[in-house]
Chains A and B, each alone.
Chain A
Amino acid sequence: MQQFINVTLTGLTEGMVYAAFALALVLIWRSTRIVNFAQGSMAAATAFIALALIQAGWSYWAALVVALVSGFVMGAVIERVVVRRVEGGPELNAVIVTLGLFVAIQAGIAIVFGSSFQSFPTPFGLQGFQVGDNRIAFTPTSLYVIGAVLVTMGLLVALFRFTRVGLAMRASAFGQEVARLLGVRVGRMLTLGWGLAAVVGSLAGLLIAGGEFIYPAYMDSLIVFGFVAAVLGGLDSPIGAVVGGLILGLALSYVSGYVPRGSALVNVSALVILMVVLLVRPGGLFASSTARRA
């Protein structure tokens, strides 16, 4: 029973990170119909920036803020300079461009920061809370991870629901032509959307790095998990992405917790889950795609 609780708690924590990453993918998909495969590399780049600052003596929080801001700038610049040229073109071209970004940024990180494993600090403890006589696998860091993701989601909801900018962004995602006719500066909204998505993705990257070792390719699995989570939720629905992230986090945690040597099977399990979802419910578990198709 205790193992079950521990595995579930770990799964929930990791699921929150997958959810955040999936949310970043969904934000970009909704606005530009592009799956940003470079998201993982971009997040890794910001994590390395944060690490460099921390090693230079900055506090974790200051480094976090700088990393998120640099993530925003990176996302916006990439959209404006590179992605804008393939938006609305053949879908294969956009896929290949984001893959090119993925490789280039990852190699760029290795050139600038080196490709060795480096430990990434976390502002909170890594020892589980005491419940009765037992320590559970729920640490102050897990609490921080879940809290940070929830706050970010809350801010995003507030932005899209209650502000003019959010309304304009939703409008340009829904119908570019109409939004443009109504005076929305669609290009600017798309750039902003990519920037915001990059911030969310970077946050996921920084959270998963906390207390672990990072290296240029450390986000490779997370991009797969984020994609699987996003597809679970239908790739079009932010709520679906969050639920998909949690489901995936739990499923993978059970695999690595209960199958002997299951940690080697986590990536394969994600593949199996993805295949099953795509074959059985290609629209995702919460498909709202009948309303709109690419």
Chain B
Amino acid sequence: MSDLQSPTTDTATAPGKATSSPPTEATAGGDQPTATRRRSLLPSSTLLRHLLLLALGAVATVVILEITDPFTNSQLATLSYYAIAAGGLTVLTGMNGQISLGHGALMAVGAYTTALFLSAEEPPPLPLILLAAIVVATAVGALVGVAAARLHGPYLAGATLALAVGLPGLAIYFHDWLGGEQGMRVRAPRAPEAFDSFISTVSGNSATNTKWLAYVGAICLLITYFLLANLVRSRVGRTWRAVRDQEVAAELAGINLGAWRVLAFTVSAAAAGLAGGVLALVVRLAAPSGFTLVLSLSLLTAIVIGGLGSLLGALLGSALLVFLPPFVTDLGAGWGLDNTEAAQLAPFVYGVVLIVAMIFAPAGFIGTLRMRWLTSRAKRSAARSSGG
């Protein structure tokens, strides 16, 4: 298993390349539990397993986007940017133990970068624009990360809270350039010819712009999760967990705590920047009102529900962020609330869910399931060994 470890690491660190290269000190070597995987049918190499999942995900994406109606397509596009940001956040909070309430602001950085590039006379190709959004957000994230690496718990939460509340103010201050309160309209680029022919051969649906953006979001999501999953399983991920769980032991093992924390924040910011770029394309607007504190707290809700540190959990939590609001809003309308009141039911539910999850199931949905499964398996094997 370990022979493929280093190429995995290389692929996975690619998004963080724009920043300082990761520290290369020796890490607390964490041998992965090989014995338990012997029986499984999945390939034993992490990279191959993730590539398989990536291919499955791509097929599933095409199927889901082609059998659903345009409205669901646009909801799924929304899901993709929430999930990208939540994926980055869950790596930061779950793997490295740093909380951030500032990811909404980092998304704003990505969104405004995208909007600025697209407002040019001759906008560069879309992948380049999204790459630029990532680079700018990564730079800002690295800056914040340097400050954040020295903080913990409530201090970090407060500092990133100040970031979330403060940064959108810059868009108002530079209103000639960034559009002030009204924000910037975004001209989403048209779908290329190849996309039209692809859709017509696959399903015969009409290749609308909504569908194109849903595909853009899904592609970004798949790539992000593939890279993050590899990163988490690599030496880098193990070092992050060491930093999170045992500061002193990690430091004794030669790990530079600060540098690894900054790296975690930077990677997470890169994901947030990409999410912001996709958001700008899907919403077609980058405005301060789109990046409120509630956005950052919704992301936090998503990863807490799903289970801190789990990418699948982040995806499920993001799905909740997309599909819960219409549901509870309808429910609220049924109870006789008017539209604006019913719209507030969703954040109300987020808040309650955060409290309840932290008190009763701090491991989140995925984490709780995983723990149940591990306990039952341990019990079974214990019963087997004592019986035989």
Question: Which A residues are closer than 8 A to B by beta carbons?
Answer: 29, 34-35, 37, 82, 85-86, 90-97, 99-108, 110-111, 114-115, 217, 220-221, 223-224, 227-228, 231, 235, 261, 264-271, 274-275, 278-279, 282
Contact = CB atoms under 8 A, between A and B. Distances in A.
A74 to B, nearest CB: 15
B173 A264 contact: yes
A100 B351 contact: yes
Interface of B: 93, 97, 99, 101, 147, 150-155, 157-159, 161-163, 165-167, 169-170, 172-173, 292-294, 297, 300-301, 304, 332, 337, 340-341, 344-348, 350-355, 358-359, 362
A102 B347 CA distance: 10
Which 5 A-B pairs rank lowest in CB-CB distance, beginning with the nearest? A104-B351, A100-B354, A103-B351, A91-B153, A107-B348
Would you call the interface of chain B mostly helix, strand, loop, or mixed?
A: helix
A85 B154 CA distance: 17
B348 A275 contact: no
Contact of B355 (A34, A97, A269): A97
Contact of B358 (A93, A221, A270, A279): A93
Contact of A100 (B294, B346, B358): B358
Contacts, number: 156
Nearest to A105: B351
B173 A92 contact: no
B162 A224 contact: yes
A224 B151 contact: no
A217 B292 CA distance: 10
Contacts of A274: 158-159, 162
Given A220-B293, A228-B162, A103 B347 contact: yes
Contacts of A96: 99, 300, 304, 354, 358
A23 B342 CA distance: 35
B99 A111 contact: no
A82 B166 CA distance: 29
A95 B99 contact: yes
A100 B157 contact: no
B150 A271 contact: no
B147 A101 contact: no
Contacts of B341: 110-111, 114-115
A187 B348 CA distance: 28
B167 A268 contact: yes
27 contacts: A29-B154, A90-B362, A95-B99, A96-B304, A97-B359, A99-B101, A100-B355, A100-B358, A103-B351, A104-B348, A104-B354, A105-B351, A107-B344, A110-B344, A115-B340, A224-B158, A231-B158, A267-B162, A269-B166, A270-B162, A270-B166, A271-B162, A271-B165, A275-B159, A278-B147, A278-B159, A282-B150
B358 A227 contact: no
A11 B165 CA distance: 20
B350 A85 contact: no
Contact of A107 (B93, B169, B300, B347): B347
A268 B166 contact: yes
Given A34-B154, A279-B150, A265 B159 contact: no
B351 A107 contact: yes
Nearest to A78: B355
A267 B359 CA distance: 32
Contacts of B352: 100, 104
B348 A108 contact: yes
B136 to A, nearest CB: 17
A108 B172 CA distance: 29
Nearest to A260: B173
Contact of A224 (B150, B166, B346): B166
Given A91-B152, A111-B344, A97 B354 contact: yes
B165 A220 contact: yes
Contacts of A92: 93, 97, 99, 153
Contact of B147 (A86, A220, A275): A275
B166 A100 contact: no
Given A99-B297, A268-B169, A279 B347 contact: no
A4 to B, nearest CB: 23
Contacts of B97: 92
Contact of A271 (B166, B346, B359, B362): B166
Given A92-B99, A111-B344, A100 B165 contact: no
B158 A261 contact: no
A106 B297 CA distance: 12
A174 to B, nearest CB: 19
Nearest to B351: A104
A268 to B, nearest CB: 4
A224 B161 contact: yes
A261 B169 CA distance: 11
A278 B169 contact: no
Nearest to B161: A224
B93 to A, nearest CB: 7
Contacts of A110: 340-341, 344
A85 B359 contact: yes
Contacts of A224: 158, 161-162, 165-166
A231 to B, nearest CB: 7
A269 to B, nearest CB: 8
B340 A114 contact: yes
B297 A264 contact: no
Nearest to A38: B351
Nearest to B348: A107
A252 B293 CA distance: 21
B351 A101 contact: yes
Contacts of A269: 166
A91 B158 CA distance: 13
A265 B297 CA distance: 23
Nearest to B180: A264
Contacts of B101: 99
Given A35-B158, A91-B153, A115-B344, A103 B354 contact: yes
A254 to B, nearest CB: 16
A278 B152 contact: no
B219 to A, nearest CB: 32
Contacts of B147: 275, 278-279
